[in-house]
Amino acid sequence: MRTLVVAAILFLVGSPARALRLWGEPSDKKIRPIQRLSDSNKPAEVVAALTPEFLQSLRGTDLRQAYVLRGDNLVQLGRADEALGVYQLGVKLFPKNVDLLTRQAGLLHRTGLHEQAQPLFLKALEHEPKHFGAHLGLAEIFRRLGFLERSAFHYEGALETLDQNARVWRDYAETLLAQRDWLTADLALRRAQALEPDNPEGRILTGFARRAQGDLQGALNALDEALARGGGIGAKRAKALWLLEAGRTAQALAAADEVLRENPNDAAAVWTRSRVFLSQGQHEKASAALSRLASDPRHDFSSRAASALRDSLLEKTEAR
């Protein structure tokens, strides 16, 4: 997990420590041995070498790079709080440095402090309008906050550089789907699929898009394509529910049973089975399935809905 967090932060800021803006700045090359340690993936040695005394001996680009290297390697060691302090100090000393701004913002964003990250990303774009990491960070933040048009705008800015990144195309498509921009979303998903033809995620999104447009068979076809490429239990769950919606009860029951073999307490699959039994007039079986869901405290809404439907069935059964 730590490796994934580090990769996410460094991907988001869009600039490895070596790729700092070096031109026109003084350098006495003291930072280069530390850079080599970082390139060799020796984070503990990097942090140990960047002592306060050593930092005080640096100037210009070397000092800025030292703050980036220290912060990045602290993140790699799982010491995110310390890294944040390093980036913050670096930004105070070099308030126009995009590398430090985006690193501080990226770490805040990835730890859930989105409102604090947003102005830092915006400030980075003032100095470098095409910085893909800043655009991507803002796209994710605005999508989380529900500002979908602004999110799409920043995804488009990021994709000017990240046009070979399928994940960003899928995230962009998801934002477009939330805006009901079906045509552009479809183009984005096609691009993602062309880049990663065996990835099931884009086809799952395609399924949801087709269902939202009323094409239930097309949605099911997209889910089948995703499942053929390793789509997980979420795709199987959606298939069971959509087959039920289409009135194909035997297939819905089979799909629900497949989900339950993986997760015997899956709320959606239990609900699907109960609805199938109910449609077949098998009230006792439906009631038994619903009782199983109603007694599970992990699914608050599902439990309450199941309890209400089960109680209604019991009343009808007793009335007979």
Residue 278, φ and ψ in degrees, nearest 5 = -65, -40
Is there a contact between 111 and 14 (Cβ–Cβ < 8 Å)? Answer: no
Residue 78, φ and ψ in degrees, nearest 5 = 85, 15
| pLDDT at 319 > cutoff 50 | no
315 or 35, which is more confident: 35
253 or 293, which is more confident: 253
CA 55, CA 57: separation in Å to the nearest integer? 5
pLDDT tens digits, residue range 194-243? 999 999 999 999 999 999 999 999 999 999 999 999 999 999 999 999 99
- pLDDT of res. 179: 95
- At residue 66, the 3 state secondary structure works out as helix
Domains 1-160 and 163-226 alike in fold: yes
Q: Could you state, in order of their start, the residue ranges of all structural domains in the chain?
A: 1-160, 163-226, 253-320
pLDDT tens digits, residue range 118-154? 999 999 999 999 999 999 999 999 999 999 999 999 9
- pLDDT of res. 224: 96
| pLDDT category of residue 25 using cuts at 50, 70 and 90 | low
Residue 47 to residues 80, 225, 239, Cα–Cα distance (Å): 13, 48, 50
Radius of gyration of the chain (CA): 26
For residue 131, give the DSSP letter.
-
pTM beyond 0.75, yes or no:
yes
1-160: what CATH class?
A: mainly alpha
Which of 51-65, 145-159, 278-292 comes out lowest in average pLDDT? 278-292
Fold designation for 163-226: 1.25.40
Is there a contact between 133 and 12 (Cβ–Cβ < 8 Å)? Answer: yes
Which of 24-33, 74-83, 214-223 comes out lowest in average pLDDT? 24-33
- pLDDT of res. 135: 97
